Amino acid sequence: MNINLPGRPFSLALRLTFFISLSTILGFITFTWIMLHSVEDHFAQQDVNDLQQFSARINEILHSPAAQEPQRVKQLQDLIAGYRDISVLIENSHGETLFSSPQGSKLHLAKEDASFLSHLNSGDVFLWKPEVNSITGNQSPLINNQTYRVIVASGQASFGGKQQSYQLIIGLSINFHLHYLDALKKKLVAIAIVISLVIIFIIHFAVRQGHQPLRKVSNTIKNITSDKLDERLDSSRVPIELEQLVISFNYMIAKIEDVFNRQANFSADIAHEIRTPITNLVTQTEIALSQSRTQKELEDVLYSSLEEYNRMTKMVSDMLFLAQADNHQLLSEMVIFDLSVEVGKVFDFFEAWAEDRNVALLFNGRSCLITGDPLMYRRVLNNLLSNALRYTPEGRVITVSVLEHEHNFDLTVENPGAPIPEEHLPRLFDRFYRVDPSRQRKGEGSGIGLAIVKSIVALHHGKIRVESDAVSTRFIISIPRM
């Protein structure tokens, strides 16, 4: 059966290359992202430490009782001069400037920014990037394109000869860090593109090399034709991932080879089986026509011909039955029935023949209900019992028994007699197979009775096996429970 897929799927090499490359690139991107954030966190922590130390130092100067105000201003100016990109603004509670560094006016203008004002009383270090002025639509040229990390503190100190409450705002421009991070990101993006291309190339090469054994196996398989079905792949010469595939392929080829051989043998056997009765018919007819015959002699010839016709009819009928079984066209009636009742019906049919051969029929078991076609099972028992009667010595007993298990019933047909050599047991169910090839099948059936048995059992999802030893030969059928 062909399954039409919506478009041809991508090759395994392309899939592997894509997913492995994607995983590797994502891993590299994750590493880069972690590294960038680590650098950003390092700069941020460094800025926070600097601002906290600077704020503590300013508060220490402002609260120095021994220093006069001019001295404190001088100390503040000296302190600010030792730091780069620092802006300081000190205002009283009325918004009047008590002290401002050269860049402090930026922080004074920043107080017009809503994002800045929302942090003024927090006491935390926060990041501030000036917003566009809602009135003018522009940023102040003094703070344009600047980003600050700001800390706010408050307290009381002596200013202008009197004690006043103050608010300390310290801003640290981090543009230098941001420029460095921006340059680092651009370099990492460029490096990532180059590395990604290299990764894709290396992985594609590795995947192609990894698929080399698969291509070798494929080329070997291409060389196996119908006249070379005896060739097998060496599972020990392939990677372990392909070992099970090679084993399965060898198993499939072995089954195909077996089917080819059976088909060839079947064609030869059926030709032989049909040729024999046709030859007999031709010979008898030629003899009858060679000279004048009495009516009794002609009747004997006709009866002999009728026997051959009947045998050919049965053979054709059995072959048609097997063909229908192969196409699952036989199970017309699936009902629940008692297997022991069917065994009794078959015993009644064979009773006369068994008495004529001085052979007893014995059933061991009890009633068991199964699902299937009763007529099919009756045909199975007919074929097995006819074989058993044919090869059972006089005065012995043929036993049919039913043994119940958890998931199935075992139906066993056992007859004493000469054992079947072990090498013939696996092929007893082949069509036209003879244990003794030199024997002709005259009066022994069509030669495919056991093949029919196997087909019927398989149609009912059962299994059949044969065992033979010096005591008896046993055909055992495993029948699924209801």
**pLDDT for residue 209:** 81
Residue written as tokens 């034709």?
A: 225
Query: 43-88 pLDDT, tens per residue?
Result: 889 888 888 888 888 888 888 876 677 888 888 888 888 777 888 8
Q: In the CATH hierarchy, which fold is given to the domain comprising 14-185? A: Beta-Lactamase (3.30.450)
Per-domain residue ranges of the chain: 14-185, 330-480
Q: Is the pLDDT of residue 482 over 70?
A: no
Q: What is the mean pLDDT of the chain?
A: 81
Give the Cα separation of 12 and 19 in Å (integer).
10
Instruction: Identify the band that residue 136 occupies on the pLDDT scale cut at 50, 70 and 90.
Output: very low
Instruction: Identify the band that residue 8 occupies on the pLDDT scale cut at 50, 70 and 90.
Output: low
Provide the CATH number for the domain formed by 330-480 in this structure: 3.30.565.10
The residue that leads in pLDDT, 254 or 319, is 254
Between the ranges 97-101, 261-265, 323-327, where is the mean pLDDT highest? Answer: 97-101
Lowest mean pLDDT among 1-10, 177-186, 241-250, 403-412: 1-10
Inter-residue contact 340 to 385 (CB < 8 Å): no
The residue that leads in pLDDT, 143 or 226, is 226
Query: 137-152 pLDDT, tens per residue?
Result: 444 444 556 788 888 8
Whole-Å CA distances, 167 to 123, 173, 262 = 10, 20, 103
- Region 385-396: mean pLDDT is 91
**pLDDT for residue 308:** 81
Instruction: Identify the band that residue 416 occupies on the pLDDT scale cut at 50, 70 and 90.
Output: very high
Inter-residue contact 333 to 459 (CB < 8 Å): no
- Region 90-115: mean pLDDT is 78
**pLDDT for residue 440:** 47
Q: Is the pLDDT of residue 12 over 80?
A: no
The residue that leads in pLDDT, 225 or 340, is 340
Q: Is the pLDDT of residue 105 over 80?
A: no
Q: Is the pLDDT of residue 446 over 70?
A: no
Percent of the chain with pLDDT over 90: 12
Query: 280-325 pLDDT, tens per residue?
Result: 888 888 888 888 888 888 888 888 888 888 878 877 777 777 777 7
**pLDDT for residue 464:** 92
